Structure 1
Amino acid sequence: MSGGQERTTSQAEWLERYGASHIGVFGAPGLVISRGEGCWVWDVDGRRYLDLVSGIAVNALGHSHPELVAAISKQAGELVHVSNFFTTTAQVGAAERILALADAPAGSGVFFTNSGTESVEAAIKLSRRTGRSRIVALEGAFHGRSTGALALTHKAAYREPFEPLIPHVVHVPPGDVAALRAAVDERTAMVLLEPVQGEAGVLPLDGDYLRAAREVTREVGALLVLDEIQTGIGRTGAWFAHQHHGVVPDAMTLAKGLGGGVPIGALVTFGPETTALLAPGQHGSTFGGNPLACSAALTVLDTIESEGLVTRAGELGEHLVAAVAALEDPRLGPVRGLGLLRAIPLRGLASTDVVAAARRAGFIVNPVAPDAIRLAPPLVITAAELDGFVTALPSILDDATRSSS
């Protein structure tokens, strides 16, 4: 049978074929998705789900947004790849747009990658160009799974099977300014922080801590790099989460929502001194900055702005917080996070059971922690769609309770 033929139709059969053809790093997929529209997706059996995860904060415009579809189709018909011996109008335009939205000063720059992990790898190389090697990250941090980024990711179960990793990485408790000050000295090349720790359970760092990080890195001449891979591109109610707190980093990493589903990431440097650390020939990417991905990114940024989705993300996030609180359900804790990056804490229930029950009810959520579910819906979601989930939540919890007993 050729790869293009589809002799099977049921979800169970497709999942069996998946297991027989893939390296099992992801385990068994929960669904086989066939199509999407707006904030909804359908599986191959024809069942519909409200997508409240959006590919883990990737599908910023939802599924099949007409502007993004048109831009990708047009660019595919003109030019898909040229290599970085050359540039394209899409690449230049996307870089300029990112710098403008970041309020980056003159002399700032963008290096396009294909993923968040690659953006972090570029940041590691940037920091090494300071002549130092020590990197300070946070306990609970997640920065990727390549061998460089993995050293900065905190979870031991991710790191230990692949050690030894790059040396001189120190993890300190989030929010502890004294611990940060004790760890950062003249040996430190970079402090790397997520403004909201996503994989740790959607845990925001407060403004005082981020400002202290900015202060201590300046004191010793280290770089402050902010990992905005999950928090950037309007998700938290600002274009980039650090803008809530008036902190200007030396660099930031981007990916996820930037391409609206098309793979693209970026390392963004602030100011000429940081930009100049990477000289010609010191880094590269075959596919980074390709015109298809850059055209998608430019369209995502323009559409988010024209549809007012940044402000709306902040407003809908607060709407969700209030709606969940109004349930007064003792099985739920106060919603945490920023904008449309949220976690709902659970009391007495396992998140995996709640996720399974939500899927049975037609909702896709994520077990971000053993006792919390994550919501990172498309920025185009409506209040009515969020309310539909909140209204169903008590019955979802009832189902989870029955299933676990």
Structure 2
Amino acid sequence: MSTTADAIRSADAHSAHNYHPLPLVVASAEGAWMTDVEGRRYLDMLAGYSALNFGHGNRRLIDAARAQLERVTLTSRAFHHDRFAEFCTELAALCGKEMVLPMNTGAEAVETAVKTARKWGYEVKGVPDGHAKIVVAADNFHGRTTTVVSFSTDHDARDHFGPYTPGFEIVPYGDLTALAHAVTENTVAVLLEPIQGEAGVLVPPAGYLRGVRELTRERNVLFMADEIQSGLGRTGRTFACEHEGVVPDVYILGKALGGGVVPVSAVVADRDVLGVFRPGQHGSTFGGNPLACAVALEVISMLRTGEFQGRATELGEHLHRELNLLVGGGAVTAVRGRGLWAGVDIDPSRGTGREISEKLMELGVLVKDTHGSTIRIAPPLVISKEDLDWGLSQLRSVLGA
């Protein structure tokens, strides 16, 4: 077995340096815990950026995958397979929509949503061809494809990847007035995260999502909600939009839809939106494959019980109560989030987000920094209250709080 140092050295030598991971090498995982190559255990408080909402090695998901592995894993969409219709039907029902367009990764789903909105704009709304505009929010994170980084305000994600794709208007997140001014007769969609995850778990002002819904309906513009991180139980509801009683025109899903087992993403909308596609106009070799459908169907079944949404609500209230006790004491300057999801701004006197993450790693707790001074906390929804409390005690120790 390779040592941690050997594995990291080999990775640094032979893989592109597009990530800056913490210096540990995971060998196995179960539930909310991961074990490295040297046998040390760590409490996972990141959950694969919410891809692992149901924990590592969830038995229901592994069993569903194993059973499908024995039957058929890929047909391509050149043929029907016996899990596809059920997956589309069940996911559409979960979202309260009529149609599903399955893909693999979240970024692919966002790209698909962009194409959907433009095609809908030209063929349904009547926008002149080539003039469609999509309004997005500053500090967004929708992926890292060339189109998506064209409307990013993150210099690391955007710089030196041009020329950039036109057709996007950026407005401040949470500012309804700016959004209203940006929407014109050529606007086909507003694309937003109900909670901005990568930006530091930013929750918009109360009433903002309702205002977006009202505005887009009045102006005949699609409201596309990127629920890739915020959806599927993380915030205490199936979708974060539900906290304001909002139903968007388009859901963009990924991460937890594959249960941390396989990459699964989807765009979900009604027939008057997704019905614009014809054969040959969009696709994916692996999108909607039998293995992905089998795992996602089990995810949908688990979400229907409400168990995981309930755990996120109950444990999330506890998490935020404990974190807010740290605010104002010289350790933490702000806490944001909803459900079992938090962005914690570290007082600069205690270290950077990266330094705090490294110190927590030494104590057996895994989180990740973003934007310099912030750490993100998003444990699997299966975490026990005792483990969550232990992780928080390590955070208090590191902060000297």
For residue 68 of structure 1, report the CA deviation from its aligned partner. 1.1
Q: How is 1:5-404 mapped onto 2 (pairs within 5 angstroms)?
A: 8-27=1-20, 30-104=23-97, 108-129=98-119, 130-131=121-122, 132=127, 133-261=132-260, 262-269=262-269, 271-306=270-305, 308-326=307-325, 329-348=329-348, 349-398=351-400
Residues in 1 aligned to 2:372 and 2:190: alpha-carbon distance in whole angstroms: 28
Q: Is the 8 A contact 1:15 1:29 kept in 2?
A: no
Residues in 2 aligned to 1:353 and 1:81: alpha-carbon distance in whole angstroms: 43
Secondary structure of the residue aligned to 1:335 is strand
Q: Is the 8 A contact 1:15 1:28 kept in 2?
A: no
Secondary structure of the residue aligned to 1:189 is strand
The residue type equivalent to 1:113 in the other structure is M
In structure 2, relative to structure 1, the CA distance for the partners of 1:99 and 1:184 (3 Å cut) is same
Query: Any unmatched runs of 5+ in structure 1?
Result: 1-7, 400-405
Secondary structure of the residue aligned to 1:203 is coil
For residue 114 of structure 1, report the CA deviation from its aligned partner. 0.7
In structure 2, relative to structure 1, the CA distance for the partners of 1:305 and 1:272 (3 Å cut) is closer
For residue 56 of structure 1, report the CA deviation from its aligned partner. 1.1
Q: Is the 8 A contact 1:142 1:152 kept in 2?
A: no
In structure 2, relative to structure 1, the CA distance for the partners of 1:28 and 1:176 (3 Å cut) is closer
In structure 2, relative to structure 1, the CA distance for the partners of 1:304 and 1:30 (3 Å cut) is farther
For residue 325 of structure 1, report the CA deviation from its aligned partner. 3.0
Residues in 1 aligned to 2:218 and 2:304: alpha-carbon distance in whole angstroms: 36
The residue type equivalent to 2:331 in the other structure is R
1:247-269 C-alpha deviation (Å, 9 max, x unpaired): 12111211011111111110111
Residues in 2 aligned to 1:34 and 1:16: alpha-carbon distance in whole angstroms: 16
1:38-76 C-alpha deviation (Å, 9 max, x unpaired): 100001011100000011111111111111111111100
Q: Is the 8 A contact 2:22 2:358 kept in 1?
A: no
Residues in 2 aligned to 1:158 and 1:177: alpha-carbon distance in whole angstroms: 26
- TM-score normalised per structure 1: 0.92
Q: Which residue of 2 aligns with 1:4?
A: none
The number of residues matched between the two structures is 388
Residues in 2 aligned to 1:374 and 1:326: alpha-carbon distance in whole angstroms: 17
1:87-143 C-alpha deviation (Å, 9 max, x unpaired): 333222222222222222xxx211111100000000111111112421110010011
Residues in 1 aligned to 2:206 and 2:275: alpha-carbon distance in whole angstroms: 29
- Segment drifting more, 325-334 vs 177-186: 325-334
RMSD across aligned C-alpha pairs, in angstroms? 1.7
Residues in 2 aligned to 1:168 and 1:304: alpha-carbon distance in whole angstroms: 36
For residue 307 of structure 1, report the CA deviation from its aligned partner. 6.9
Residues in 1 aligned to 2:214 and 2:302: alpha-carbon distance in whole angstroms: 35
- Segment drifting more, 44-53 vs 291-300: 291-300
The residue type equivalent to 1:14 in the other structure is A
Residues in 2 aligned to 1:102 and 1:390: alpha-carbon distance in whole angstroms: 34
Query: Any unmatched runs of 5+ in structure 2?
Result: none
The residue type equivalent to 1:177 in the other structure is L
